[in-house]
Structure 1
Amino acid sequence: MDKERLSAFTDAVLAIVMTILVLELVVKIVGLIIAATIYPPTMMISVLITLIVFMMIFLK
């Protein structure tokens, strides 16, 4: 395999992995928001903590 093809393959694999991770993150956030509308008092704390953690990770 030549070096350019290996680099392109690596980029493709990383892009697929990152896409899967982002999709899982979106599903978790949507699930938390839906659960918060069903059980507002108990789930709002969990939703707020999760959103704060995500903000802290992305702002790092």
Structure 2
Amino acid sequence: MDSQWRTSTRSGSNGACVEARRVDQAVEVRDSKDRSGPRLRFDGRAWSAFLADLK
């Protein structure tokens, strides 16, 4: 992942999804329906833990 916003391949066509991108050593997440709205920022360790919990 790089500074380009990415949408999950599991996202549906209804537009209800989030987008993520890597910025420096962190990951930012935003609502794809409100791209100019707030963003959540996670450090690498927190993002890895989040992904592990999803599995």
* TM score, norm. by length of structure 2: 0.32
Structure having the larger proportion of residues in helix = 1
Bigger Rg over Cα: 1
Greater relative contact order structure (CA < 8 Å, 6+ sep) = 2
TM-score normalized by the length of structure 1: 0.31
